[in-house]
Amino acid sequence: MFPQSTVLDPLFWMLLGAIQVLLFAGVNQWAKEHQLGMNWWKWALAGGWWFSFVLTIAGAFTLLGENEGNAGWYFLGFAGTLLVIAGAGLLKVLLVLRDKSQQLA
Amino acid sequence: MKKKQRKQSKQRFEKLASVGSILLLILAWYLGGLRIADSQNGLLNDLLADGNSLQAISAGLYQGHSKSDTQASEWIGIGSGIGYGGPMEVALTVSHQGEIKRVAVLSSKDTSSYLEKVVQGKLLDKLLGQNIKTSIYVDAISGATLSSNALLQATNAAADPVRKQLFGFTLTEPASVILNFRWLDIVALLMFALAVWVSKTRHPKKSAFNWALLLTSMGLFGFYSASLFSSSTMGIFASGAWISGLGNYTPLILLLLSAGYIIAYNKNIYCQSLCPFGAAQECLAKIGNAKATTFKHDFFIWFPRVILLAALCFGGYFRNPASFSYEPFGIMFGMVGSLYLFVLTVLVVITSLLIRRPWCRSLCPINAMTDFLKFNKNWAKQISKQRQKSRSERAPEGTIIATQASATNRSEAL
């Protein structure tokens, strides 16, 4: 990431890790506000989706960095689009389940 | 009053645009014909060894000989095969012993990405060195089977006149166009008939039937065969390339049925119940709870029309409508197309999650085609009505009297 420095690299990744904690804490709060009733499998799906999303971006930019321009853009476009669709599907499932549980209550 | 004047001037402009577009297409086609004659001669000369000159012997057969020697040093044969978008022409240079020395594709109506696959798969290189005494065969390139088969068929057809000249026999027979029809073409007819029924029925489950049709179409004409019709199919139809044979008739059948139904009933059945890309957009709209939006600005009406006209004109000029196809269908259903089309497909797919059928409402050429057909049909109707009116106005009084008199005579006779 920072080829001229030995300190900035670990600092950068530690900062990114800290942002992940903030992100999940924010998502937890948002899910509570929208009464999504998150349980273990819903968290597993949401976490899995986020992990795949991050991996796709990392993979695509690694390819771009290795001068594999076409492969990088195709990977980002193909896997990224599938993930966006999967994300929209996951959100729909979460909202539908919330509505159903509210109707039962 | 002003509104009426504006409407009239708009109609006048649309009439001019309609006639102008037809004239532009004819002009592009004519200029393309001039260009192709020049480029083919150039390609044939390039096939010859340095210093040799070309002499036509018969249709599809040329002789190459050095300027000092009148004896033929090599033979050039030209033949054609049936590709996805129509005939593909190939020229071969053959030695006296019957060995293929050089191969060139003179013209092709296939999508350039498929042809690139064939060239990258080194199919042309594999042909070099083969002897034309026997039928020429190499394995097709997977993912570009139709283009590979067309190239092989054209190579064998190109070898035939040389075979006849050198060895006194031929190996290929002209294939019937009917052989190019497949089971999917019959399915297209059936699906269209079902779509007509669904559009007319008042069954309570009409919507479910329509969904079933859309999903089946997405599977069959989309992901299985990628044979949905596009601007290139319109170009192929306009060019008449389909008469001599096509690798895949399904898109043309769907186009003709849809256009015929629009002309007869003013209704676009294809987009409503059969379009695989429309089905994909509908599925995405369901996932993302997309809203139906209409783009009312004139730009969204005229821009797709101009793009379609440009694509058809360039397709006609370069005699290859498939190369100027700008729809995301190839990428969506077969991952075939340029990076620009890939970006467009990604944009359309993601937008489909938020807006219902964004492609259909913005750039789809089928809307432009539907508007063109409907407008010209109404115009023709208007003209025939005006003619009838003026005929009845012009009819002399005597004619009416005569008919009245003949009618009274007839009743008296009865």
Among B174, B199, B226, the domain boundary falls at: B174
Which CATH number characterizes residue B108's domain? 3.90.1010
Q: Does A23 touch chain B (CB under 8 A)?
A: no
Each as own residue / partner, the long-range contacts of residues A53-56 (CB below 8 Å, 24 or more positions apart, any chain) are: A53/A80, A53/A83, A53/A87, A56/A80, A56/A83
Q: Do A85 and B342 touch (CB under 8 A)?
A: no
Residues B203 and B242 in one domain: yes
Report the gap between the CA of A77 and the closest CA in chain B (Å). Answer: 6
List pLDDT tens digits, range B326-365. Answer: 889 988 998 888 888 999 999 999 999 999 999 998 889 9
Residues B199 and B331 in one domain: yes
Among B147, B174, B201, the domain boundary falls at: B174
Residues B259 and B145 in one domain: no
CA atoms within 13 A on the CB side of B199: 18
Output the pLDDT for position B164.
Answer: 85
Q: Which of A73, A74, A84 has the CB atom closest to B350's CB atom?
A: A84
Q: Which of A70, A73, A88 has the CB atom closest to B353's CB atom?
A: A88
What is the span of the domain harbouring residue B85? 48-174
Q: How many CB atoms lie within 10 A of CB B122?
A: 12
Range B253-267 average pLDDT: 93
Within a domain: residue B290?
yes
Within a domain: residue B402?
no
Type of residue numbered B121: G
Range A63-87 average pLDDT: 93
pLDDT of B413 > 70? The answer is no
Residues B189 and B154 in one domain: no
Within a domain: residue B254?
yes
List pLDDT tens digits, range B188-241. Answer: 999 999 999 999 999 999 999 999 999 999 999 999 988 888 898 999 888 887
Residues B90 and B127 in one domain: yes
Distance CA(B388)–CA(B390), nearest Å, equals: 6
Residues B165 and B235 in one domain: no
List pLDDT tens digits, range B139-196. Answer: 888 878 888 888 998 999 898 888 888 888 877 776 666 777 889 999 999 999 999 9
Within a domain: residue B270?
yes
Output the pLDDT for position B408.
Answer: 46
Q: Do B350 and A73 touch (CB under 8 A)?
A: no
Q: Does A82 touch chain B (CB under 8 A)?
A: no
Residues B187 and B279 in one domain: yes
Specify the DSSP class assigned to residue B222.
I
Contacts of B342 in chain A (CB under 8 A): 73-74, 77
Contacts of B347 in chain A (CB under 8 A): none
pLDDT of B414 > 70? The answer is no
Contacts of B339 in chain A (CB under 8 A): 70, 73-74
Q: Does A20 touch chain B (CB under 8 A)?
A: no
Residues B161 and B226 in one domain: no
Within a domain: residue B398?
no
Within a domain: residue B338?
yes
Contacts of A81 in chain B (CB under 8 A): 346, 349-350
Output the pLDDT for position B216.
Answer: 95
Q: Which residue has the higher pLDDT, B237 or A1?
A: B237
Q: Do B342 and A81 touch (CB under 8 A)?
A: no
Within a domain: residue B382?
no
Among B109, B143, B174, the domain boundary falls at: B174
Residues B170 and B209 in one domain: no
List pLDDT tens digits, range A11-70. Answer: 998 999 999 999 999 999 999 999 898 899 999 999 999 999 999 999 999 999 999 988
Q: How confident is the model at residue A9 (pLDDT cuts 50, 70, 90)?
A: confident
pLDDT of B412 > 60? The answer is no
B-proximal residues of A, 53-72, CB under 8 Å: 70
Mutation target to probe the B interface, by most B beta carbons within 10 A, among A63, A78, A93 is A78
Burial state string for B62-88 with b = 16 or more CB within 10 A and e = fewer than 16? bbbbbeeeeebebbbbbbbbbbbbbbb
Residues B115 and B186 in one domain: no
> Is B281 in contact with B345 (CB distance < 8 Å)?
no
List pLDDT tens digits, range A87-99. Answer: 999 999 999 988 7
Within a domain: residue B381?
no
> Is B239 in contact with B33 (CB distance < 8 Å)?
no
Q: Do B287 and A84 touch (CB under 8 A)?
A: no
Output the pLDDT for position B355.
Answer: 92
**Structural domains of chain B, count:** 2
Residues B64 and B109 in one domain: yes
Q: How many CB atoms lie within 10 A of CB A42?
A: 16
pLDDT of B369 > 90? The answer is yes
Output the pLDDT for position A25.
Answer: 94
- Torsion-angle region of residue B89: left (phi > 0), alpha (psi -120 to 50) or beta? beta
Residues B213 and B81 in one domain: no
SS (H, E, C) A15-43: HHHHHHHHHHHHHHHHHHHCCCCCCHHHH
Distance CA(B270)–CA(B367), nearest Å, equals: 11
Output the pLDDT for position B399.
Answer: 53
